[in-house]
């Protein structure tokens, strides 16, 4: 009999990951602040919906959190009827959001007083990869705790890396994201440069996608950059700014010199000030188009 697991945070990524855990045969309890999303996952998977994080905590051997920010994590654990009210000693808590190493280490300090174990296991990969259970997971924490949850991580991921001690998974995720934001910025810039010189956007993208820089990111962001209709926001500029601020803090803590990150942060902050915060990160290209047009008029 597989151990019963819990999953909290059923947003765009979390709902797909929880469904894959259920598909792999793990008895599953789920919780989401907005109940309707949990009911939808339950309809699809047969998972049991907890009425509070506390109810979920009392029923599981391991639990997974996938939320938008450290504040959300704090609410799930420590608000009234939060996880901390009924976590059993020995429960393994797996933190999969992008919250940075400081939040993870702070959380571990509190959970250790309850006799619970924490590992950080953020993910890299698109919504499509989450659906196909082909994410990459980077883990910080003890090898023993990882061994216990590895079959569960294998249910959502293609690759699971043990990076090192607690917090290193969270840091590694930020290192990957600083490259993602660099790629996003470079792609937007190359595209807008070509367009300003009179080359069609589609032609420019076709060339980039078949050139030496054709990383998987360039392929799966094609529709977003070519602005096809009805493409959902994959990753908002507000979320990108949150991640870049986490990268800045974590980089400063270890004296890493990150000039590309600083520039990407500035461009994204300018795009948000221009009213684009809720748009997809590919909207950086629209921001560059607008500034380029203004320069042309000057």
Of 30 and 192, nearer to ligand NA7 (C-beta) is 30
- The residue nearest ligand NA7 at its CB is 11
- Rounded to whole angstroms, how far apart are CA atoms 24 and 151? 9
Instruction: Work out how close the CB of 71 gets to ligand NA7 at its nearest, in angstroms, rounded to a whole number.
Output: 6
Task: Show the DSSP H helices in the chain as ranges.
Answer: 12-23, 35-45, 53-57, 70-78, 100-112, 127-131, 143-154, 168-196, 201-209, 216-220, 222-225, 237-253, 259-271, 284-297
Whether residue 107 contacts residue 87, with contact meaning beta carbons closer than 8 Å, is answered with: no
Of 230 and 255, nearer to ligand NA7 (C-beta) is 230
Instruction: Work out how close the CB of 36 gets to ligand NA7 at its nearest, in angstroms, rounded to a whole number.
Output: 8
Instruction: Work out how close the CB of 138 gets to ligand NA7 at its nearest, in angstroms, rounded to a whole number.
Output: 13
Q: For strand 48-49 and strand 123-124, is the pairing parallel, antiparallel, or unpaired?
A: unpaired
Question: Binding residues for ligand NA7, per CB under 6 A?
Answer: 9-14, 32-34, 37, 66-68, 71-72, 75-76, 97-98, 239
Q: What angle is formed at CA 20 by the lines to CA 106 and CA 68, rounded to 5 degrees?
A: 35
Of 122 and 190, nearer to ligand NA7 (C-beta) is 122
Instruction: Work out how close the CB of 11 gets to ligand NA7 at its nearest, in angstroms, rounded to a whole number.
Output: 2
Instruction: Measure the N-to-C terminal CA separation of the chain; round to a whole number of Å.
Output: 70
Whether residue 168 contacts residue 195, with contact meaning beta carbons closer than 8 Å, is answered with: no
Whether residue 183 contacts residue 214, with contact meaning beta carbons closer than 8 Å, is answered with: no
Instruction: Work out how close the CB of 244 gets to ligand NA7 at its nearest, in angstroms, rounded to a whole number.
Output: 11
Of 108 and 120, nearer to ligand NA7 (C-beta) is 120
Of 72 and 204, nearer to ligand NA7 (C-beta) is 72
């Amino acid at each position: 009999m597989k151990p019963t697991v819990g999953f909290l945070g059923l947003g765009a990524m979390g709902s797909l990951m929880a469904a894959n855990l259920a598909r792999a045969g793990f008895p599953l309890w789920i919780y989401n602040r907005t109940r309707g999303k949990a009911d939808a996952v339950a309809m699809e998977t047969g998972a049991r919906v907890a009425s509070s994080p506390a109810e979920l905590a009392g029923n599981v051997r391991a639990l997974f959190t996938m939320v938008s920010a450290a504040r959300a994590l704090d609410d799930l654990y420590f608000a009234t009827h939060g996880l901390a009210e009924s976590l059993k000693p020995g429960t393994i808590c797996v933190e999969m959001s992008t919250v940075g190493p400081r939040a993870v280490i702070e959380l571990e300090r509190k959970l250790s007083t309850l006799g619970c174990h924490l590992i950080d296991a953020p993910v890299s990969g698109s919504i499509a990869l989450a659906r196909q259970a082909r994410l990459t997971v980077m883990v910080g924490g003890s090898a023993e705790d990882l061994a216990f949850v590895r079959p569960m991580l294998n249910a959502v991921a293609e690759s699971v890396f043990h990076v090192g001690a607690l917090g290193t998974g969270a840091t590694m995720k930020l290192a990957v994201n600083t490259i993602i934001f660099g790629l996003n910025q470079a792609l937007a810039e190359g595209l807008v440069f070509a367009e300003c010189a009179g080359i069609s956007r589609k032609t420019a993208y076709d060339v980039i996608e078949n050139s030496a820089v054709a990383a998987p990111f360039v392929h799966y962001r094609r529709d977003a950059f070519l602005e096809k209709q009805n493409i959902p926001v994959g990753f908002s500029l507000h979320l990108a700014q949150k991640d870049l601020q986490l990268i800045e803090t974590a980089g400063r803590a270890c004296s890493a010199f990150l000039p590309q990150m600083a520039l990407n942060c500035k461009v994204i902050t300018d795009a948000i000030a221009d009213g684009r915060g809720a748009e997809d990160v590919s909207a950086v290209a629209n921001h560059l188009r607008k500034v380029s047009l203004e320069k042309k008029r000057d």
